[in-house]
Amino acid sequence: MKLFSFKGGIKPDPNKTQSTVLPIAQAPLTSRYIVPLHQSVGGTPRPTVQVGERVLKGQRIGEADGWISAAVHAPTSGTVVEIGPHIIPHPSGLATDCVVIEADGRDAWIERTPFDLDQAEPDAVRDYLRDMGIVGLGGAVFPSHVKLSVPRGKQVEQLIINGAECEPFITCDDRLMREQATEVVQGSLLFGRLLNAGKVLIGIEDNKPEAIAALKEAQQQLEAPLEIVTVPTIYPTGGAKELIRVLTGKEVPGSRRSTDFGVQVFNVATVQSAWRAITYGEPLISRIVTISGAVGEARNWSVPIGMPINVLVKLAQPRTDMDGVIMGGPMMGFRIPATAAPVIKATNSLIVHAPGLFPPKPAELPCIRCGSCAQACPQELQPFELYWWSRSAKFEKLENYKLFDCIECGCCDFVCPSHIPLVNYFRFAKSEILAEQREQQIADAARERHEFRQERAEREKREKAERLAKANAARKAEGKDLSAAALSPSPKTAPANDPDAAPDISSHPDQASTPISMDNHPVLDATAKQAAILAATERARLKREKHAGKSRDTTH
């Protein structure tokens, strides 16, 4: 098969052999699991359990909120002891709502029923996968069911199953392909069928010969109509757009979806977990996590989602001088803010850091515009220009240099002779721009609502004036009726439509004083209202005093 290449890319030391020697191990049960509700791109799932409720392994504890969202499930059986904010593995170090489960040690499953694919409508399959919490396990955690719906009129020519795993240290997909090759192949076929794909390709970097052999064997046994393609080891071949380019020669711009070009990409672990969900009725409650770095025993673990990272890391015998844990790889990962944070669906790798694990980063020097970064950029951007404008916070300029096409792969940082933290600048600029856009949206909405409100106030005033004029005219007409006994009823309506009627009222003092309910009503009402409010204020004061005695934090 003809392969293509993308420009740029780097070849860092892979550091993969340490963790591929041992097979995947099952992480032992622990006493507490912290399951964040928001684990995938999109809406935050709503909790479906309450504190104190007993849950079974695999029971849904958070249901998807909206189309782009995926459910979360209990990783083991036990009791929900808390639903509240806990620190999650996120660079911000912020806490979000988590369901905390105290395990009962029985690890008892809910009833699992396989999904009957043959009877189901396509939409039902997608809903099912959403409710089983299937999301992209390559690290992006995008809900898979969304990617399984192809826009109308588009046809998926090639379905690409991403087993490239290009980032150093990470081997979870490698071990999975070696040990669960049959399930990976079946999962790939399943997605090929769901997408009605013309061709299914599994792309694997050539530094994983065992995984390739295992998959080929499984393919032969199953006589599976798919192709296993070995691709050269260049970071970041595992990036979706780069892998599409390598396998199909198609280039998907940052602003477009790959389905527009007839391609869709899923990670190997994603298709395997989806296949298990369909075949065995197992929701996504665990994933494979590589633990390597400064540890005594680097290997892959099958870890329940929600297991505290410190508990897990301890199993790998970390070095005593460890000073941090990095989630993800050394190119795109981040240091987790607290090791008490749980393993989430995005946790593909944990690198235990100790001094000396990574080469020391030399001091930052000024940019000399040597262009190395531009040569290394797989997205063919001009990182030194982006850096220039990010640093001076001229965000509008960054539009011209396509900041949002940056995939933050870190190739530019890697080759920079001045050791400038380029990607850090791009992350900073991106989040500033997004925040500005959000603020602008909020401001626009507020302006619109304010203008609408003013318009309504004006209209109400106008209508009130018209009503008054109408009433006035009616009275006038009545007066005329009395004096000039018999006349047609038509003048009754005529003045009401007259726009001049409104100023008329105020200019005639005798009419303003006419004791008709319309004018006096609000006055009466206002006095009554005043009294009511006074009474209510008094009531509220009493209530508040009573309240303050009970709980201090609700009112202040």
Please tell me the distance from the alpha carbon of residue 237 to that of residue 164, in angstroms, as a whole number.
Answer: 7
Q: Is 32 strand, coil or helix? A: strand
Per CB under 8 A, does 168 bind other proteins?
A: yes
Binding residue (CB under 8 A) for other proteins from 424, 474, 475, 511: 424
End-to-end CA distance of the chain: 71
Judged by CB under 8 A, the chain residues 329 through 368 that form the site for other proteins are: 329-335, 337-340, 353, 355, 358-368
**Which burial class, exposed, middle or buried, applies to 135 when counting CB atoms under 10 A from its CB (0-12, 13-18, 19+)?**
buried
Per CB under 8 A, does 199 bind other proteins?
A: no
| Closest distance of CB 152 from other proteins, Å | 16
Judged by CB under 8 A, the chain residues 463 through 522 that form the site for other proteins are: none
Per CB under 8 A, does 26 bind other proteins?
A: no
Residue 285 backbone dihedrals phi, psi, to 5 degrees: -120, 0
| Closest distance of CB 202 from other proteins, Å | 20
Residue type at 544 in one-letter notation: R
Residue 292 backbone dihedrals phi, psi, to 5 degrees: -150, -170
| Closest distance of CB 119 from other proteins, Å | 35
* Location of structure tokens 């260049």: 234
Judged by CB under 8 A, the chain residues 444 through 473 that form the site for other proteins are: 444-447, 449-454
Binding residue (CB under 8 A) for other proteins from 16, 73, 208, 245: 245
Q: Cα separations (Å) of 160 from 190, 398, 498?
A: 13, 32, 72
Q: Please work out the total of residues on this chain that contact other proteins, with binding judged by CB under 8 A.
A: 142
Helix/strand/coil (H/E/C) assignment for every residue in 446-484: HHHHHHHHHHHHHHHHHHHHHHHHHHHHHHHHHHHHHHC
* Closest to other proteins by CB, 129 or 305: 305
* Closest to other proteins by CB, 187 or 304: 304
Binding residue (CB under 8 A) for other proteins from 220, 400, 513, 527: 400
| Closest distance of CB 179 from other proteins, Å | 24
Q: Tell me the per-residue interface mask from 72 to 91 with other proteins, x by CB under 8 A, - otherwise.
A: ----------x---xxx-xx
The answer to whether the CB of 422 falls within 8 A of the CB of 373 is: yes
Per CB under 8 A, does 432 bind other proteins?
A: yes
Largest CA distance in the chain: 111
Please tell me the distance from the alpha carbon of residue 210 to that of residue 175, in angstroms, as a whole number.
Answer: 9
| Closest distance of CB 150 from other proteins, Å | 14
Binding residue (CB under 8 A) for other proteins from 46, 54, 106, 193: 106
| Closest distance of CB 77 from other proteins, Å | 11
* Closest to other proteins by CB, 187 or 337: 337
Judged by CB under 8 A, the chain residues 301 through 320 that form the site for other proteins are: 308, 310-311, 313-315, 318
What residues contact residue 222 under an 8 Å CB cut-off, 6+ apart? 182, 185, 186, 189
Per CB under 8 A, does 378 bind other proteins?
A: yes
